[in-house]
Structure 1
């Protein structure tokens, strides 16, 4: 299941809500004021079932400049954006501001949806497309696909859904291995149930009965029930829109911008060390101690900028700085944020949080900047884990990790030893070195291998196992054959699998021959030995044994693998007992006469050319005989 969230973005009245309704069947304008004014004010949410059957969440955000705060609350945490631009108006001010926000949050997957295409002609539409292409140049959506639609007539909707489906499949779902965190975007009460919050689960798995905390209020609450896409579930995972019914708290105690999190995960802080980048195009600079608005998740706070190495940050420039906040934020290192001016409210920049709970810094201190530079890269432990988690191959040597992180190899070794003791990584012995993989990757791969092997054994119960290369190419294509062999040895040592030659089987799998199958095999062998050198074809043998379909092929393969029969040519089989008898007769004949010809083989075995020729060619292949002109001699 693709655990992703899709969000709309775009100027007011460009058709985001109408498009959402056309795609999902849900009218996300639920407020009376929204109905009266014909614009979205609050966030709207709807489940969307894609053509492939995949279910995703769709967040419809308001486009009016007065409600950018609400838009930011909805756009945070999305994986795929639909940038909506009306064909009759083209790129407008909030189009550009929403695009700035998408850039700052680094939402790298998106589709440009040109709505209201039924209101313009083809020539105008082409001009709009050219204008959009110019506006997107240099942004994260520069290469995003573009589609023209009409929510009124339905034109282009099918193409859009297909495009969304494709993008959804290509969008990596959020990792579910982290700790639970939900920025809250709605709070309400349901009679008979109590307090309910909604939001996007940014990380982890949330289960009914879990104890969580609400920050910054430090409220300890219990998850009473969970809903995903309007259906009750026992568990929700990262990347899903969730409604959480909470026990032990009143709705009045919680507000949008609060965070539901696993206890102990987050700290409230009135300071944040960040890397800040100002947008270049709006020409706005920032002075030391300028008052700004910070948007993180669904939360907006006021604060001041403490520029650590300058008095003014110019448009297009970036630097490290410390945010001094009037109300607290709850964040983790690596989170994105967006910055807007205090008044008038204009989006001017944003960046990444380097340290969510720092001490107070003195300005113009070189060591402070150096420390922030190191932190912006991540601490050694995190960098090692990150390199292992993100690398496509998934298994790296200490030297590989050092090259990716810029850390010294001895330091990498220390971190790996520490992580190994904690059970966060596993070492797989190699030739003179060790390959490391994370515990989460190891668990994921084990489950994948077990599932694939079970499917193979269920489909081919008579085969000793799945070809090793087939398993690698289907489930682990990024791992080289050499490294995959090490992984197989690692799993074999744990009893997960059994490796026999080039086949892999589940550790507890054994080929079992049922009584009915034993009877069928006995029938086949008896039929083959009735006329050992003029045996019936496989179709006739299978019919006599009552075999059909896939089982017919599997039995033939089993007979060959267990050396009961040999395949001389297409539809020419011979029982191994007859084969050995024939080999002995031919051997004695050649010893007596120095050679043997086809006609002599035919007469010796009382058979026909149809069987004698394939037999001689088979013996040549196994290097029992060697062809010399029109005769055969013993291979030596």
Structure 2
């Protein structure tokens, strides 16, 4: 309570879920009608037994607050925060699963809490590991960075987009705020793929046109933006130097995809890759054999290239995926549409 008159009021005790009536209020055993923030207050609730209420329960106006099993918070981290922690809010406490999204988190609670935007919380896991401020006291289940950012900046309803006759209308101030948020995300994007996920709200398509961004597939990009290796060029060159016919493992899948798009390697599955020239040489040898024999086994293909079983299997699976061959039992046959490279 910040300030107010309680005597005679009908209130709700939450999360106990009880409707109560205030008979009297006391401060230091003296009856009063009005209590201020900071005072230690005793409230008489007729018909309510002590065991009906629990530490952390709050008296609120009916309908003023929603109980929630989730809280969106911005986190102040003092020590590594584990996936499960104890959330302290006022005198209440509840276990929670902590779903981190950068400096934000959604706390998925084992028991409901009654909170308001701006409330402070403490996170403990044996010791205090952090704290935070409530951004949304009753959010849907999500892990959306954009939603956290909008909640943090306190996006006001008056500036939010509205639909008028089928068209979305939004203020310049709101658009500038959204543009700044997306620009910050683009600045932090991976140079290999400098795009970010777009807003998911119904107004997204209309707003993206106004922002001057390009939508490519499932991401937004600055006009003309393309992936670059930047400081990773040396790493890419060292990787290329190791490539040959024998597949090597490339743990960085995004780097492998980028280099394949540039024609600098060929991925053959299971995180492995070969050099483009080696892929073509293996393809030519395979097509020649199939044109002569009609069918080929894994063992024969392995011996044909002089490599071990697993690399041979990975190459054959890539040729299947590329439409060069088709598997029939334990053998491969040439697809009719396949032509030899260079013809």
> TM > 0.5 between the two?
no
> TM-score, normalization: structure 1?
0.25
Q: Specify which structure has the bigger relative contact order, considering alpha-carbon pairs within 8 angstroms and separated by 6 or more residues.
A: 2
Greater C-alpha Rg: 1
Structure with higher helix content: 1
Structure with higher strand content: 2
